[in-house]
Amino acid sequence: ARKQGGNNHQFYTPQLQLVSLAPLSLETDLRYALEREEFEVLYQPQVDMRTGQIIGAEALLRWHHPERKLISPVEFIPIAEETGLIIPIGEWVLRTACTQTKFWHDGGFGFLNIAVNLSVYQFNQENIIQKICDILRETGLNPASLELELTEGSIVQNPEATRRIFSELKLRGIQISIDDFGTGYSSLSYLQQFSFDSLKIDKCFVRNITTDSKNAAITIAIIQMAHSLKLKVIAEGVETQAEQYFLSQYECDVMQGYLFSRPIPAKEGYQSKAGQFGA
Ligand code: C2E
Ligand code: CA
Ligand code: CA
Ligand code: CA
């Protein structure tokens, strides 16, 4: 092939190799990421609208890849789900977040709730309740301090199972939050079928809330509907004071976003006039 001349070498440029091998090697690397301790859980504060105090945090996973540095969960969670790796990884997140929160509780921040994202693949496991309870027992965290974030897509898949799991969780005082509310294609009928604690308004609705009348209308409708169903409302992606003001006017219960803090490493803790935790 070399004899054919100069052009052929382009197939061997590092760039091309990167393109063709990247997905596969990312998958391979993901298999070793847990044992190589490349994951980190960051914590993003959640602020109570009425008191302005921090009442909890959401656990958000990060992957420190040895060569590619930080990889976004948007990129690797789907691979983890396709390969089944989400099961051990998700358990590690839950255990890490519960351990950390118990540590904060013991350090005097007993009011902190911890919200953990649960993939549909985790949720569909036969023994999911057992696994969650084992982790709570192991770490000593009060079950009432744990909030599980599930997307509407994952709860409508198997209504029978969802009802059973939700009532088991409720029995133990664990809270359930519907994540990315309104971004899927589910009908609203599940709101009366299942009992849970809060709705989380996705940042795509909160964005431009003060300038985009459609986003504003959707957000107001979600808050009012949630409240008439006695559900708590959490707004995510709050970036500006104007957005905070808007949300407070419509009595959104909890806010989360860069306005208060980005997701931060546990050891940094969080300190502001809104309160503090950690470190
Ligand atoms: P999500 O559950 O909807 O999490 C909210 C995302 O919005 C996070 O992105 C967070 O960093 C980001 N965010 C927070 N405040 C703001 C803001 O003010 N402005 C903007 N533009 N963004 C903000 P992140 O951490 O990159 O996570 C992306 C998604 O990955 C999450 O979306 C969640 O679906 C998934 N994910 C993250 N950690 C886990 C995990 O441990 N398990 C599972 N199954 N999924 C996870
Ligand atoms: Ca979430
Ligand atoms: Ca989500
Ligand atoms: Ca979201």
Using one digit for the tens of pLDDT, what is the confidence trace for 166-202?
A: 999 999 999 999 999 989 888 888 998 999 999 999 9
Nearest CA to ligand 1 atom 35: 73
Q: How far, in Å, is the centroid of ligand 2 from the Cα of 44?
A: 10
Distance from C-alpha of 152 to C-alpha of 219, rounded to nearest angstrom: 17
Distance from C-alpha of 111 to C-alpha of 47, rounded to nearest angstrom: 12
Q: 225, exposed or middle or buried, with CB in 10 Å at 0-12, 13-18, 19+? A: middle
CA of 263, closest atom in ligand 1: 11
ipTM: 0.98
Distance from C-alpha of 142 to C-alpha of 14, rounded to nearest angstrom: 51
For the record, the structure tokens of 207 come out as 């964005």
In testing the pocket of ligand 1, which one of 81, 236, 260 has its CB within 8 Å of the most ligand atoms?
A: 236
| pTM (2 d.p.) | 0.91
- Closest ligand to C-alpha of residue 201 is 4
With vertex at residue 278, the alpha carbon angle to CA 233 and CA 199, rounded to the nearest 5 degrees, is: 10
The pLDDT tens digits of the residues spanning 242-274 come to: 999 999 999 999 999 999 999 999 988 766 555
The pLDDT tens digits of the residues spanning 119-172 come to: 999 999 999 999 999 999 999 999 999 999 999 999 998 999 999 999 999 999
The answer, yes or no, to whether any atom of ligand 1 lies below 6 A from the CB of 179, is: yes
Distance from C-alpha of 180 to C-alpha of 90, rounded to nearest angstrom: 18
